[in-house]
């Protein structure tokens, strides 16, 4: 349910429905339905029993459920979902807000990319786009997106890199790192983990 205090509005809600409805992949959350009635906005997803990845990575008790093989399989599933969005689906989608809380875990800890409210659609042959407004989560956004309003497949790849570092380290890299580029991020991580 879209919270009354949410910064997302009708545009983001409709964007998620429009983009997610035609996409079918085992590593993307499946949209079952939606409802718009008065001020209420509801998205109905498939049931995903294991909540989001951040619940496991950053929780002192639940992180013990993620052995290295499981973490490796989760990373591989996220890659397959991104590859589908970027290359294999009928439409090319740039997620623009990839982070641990937007990775839901299904049965057998199968990762499913969720929350397509800020996603962007590319037309055939398009490799980058310019955003009118910057939306996303600090620390997960690539510098060319933040500084020049340019987004591309590379924007999602940068966010994925932050996710991998968080999965491996168990620390919230994205929430407190404020650098300019990938080299700064790697330098920061090597000094602080």
108: annotated active-site residue? no
Given the residues 67, 97, 115, 130, the one annotated as active site: 97
* CB 152 within 8 Å of CB 94: yes
* CB 78 within 8 Å of CB 163: yes
HSE of 26 in the Cβ direction (CA atoms, 13 Å)? Answer: 8
Query: Where do the H-state alpha helices sit in the chain?
Result: 10-20, 53-57, 68-83, 143-148, 153-169, 173-176, 182-192
Q: Which two tokens stand for residue 109?
A: 């800890």
Question: CA of 154: how far to CAs of 37, 123, 126, 141, 145, in Å?
Answer: 37, 16, 13, 10, 10
Residues with catalytic roles: 97
């Amino acid at each position: 349910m879209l919270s009354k205090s949410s910064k997302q509005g009708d545009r983001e809600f409709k964007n998620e429905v429009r983009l997610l409805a035609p996409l079918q992949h085992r590593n993307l959350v499946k949209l079952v339905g939606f409802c718009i009635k008065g001020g209420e906005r509801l998205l109905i997803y498939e049931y995903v029993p294991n909540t989001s990845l951040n619940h496991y990575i950053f929780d002192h008790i639940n992180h013990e459920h993620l052995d290295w093989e499981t973490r490796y399989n989760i990373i591989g599933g996220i890659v397959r979902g991104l590859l589908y969005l970027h290359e294999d689906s009928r439409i090319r989608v740039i997620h623009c807000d990839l982070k641990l809380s937007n990775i839901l875990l299904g049965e057998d800890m199968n990762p499913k990319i969720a929350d397509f409210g800020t996603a962007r659609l590319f037309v055939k042959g398009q490799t980058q786009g310019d955003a009118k407004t910057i939306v996303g989560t600090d620390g997960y956004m690539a510098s060319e997106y933040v500084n020049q309003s340019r987004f591309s497949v590379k924007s999602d790849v940068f966010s994925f890199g932050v996710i991998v570092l968080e999965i491996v380290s168990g620390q919230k890299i994205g929430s407190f790192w404020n650098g300019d580029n990938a080299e700064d991020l790697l330098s920061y991580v090597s000094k602080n983990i």
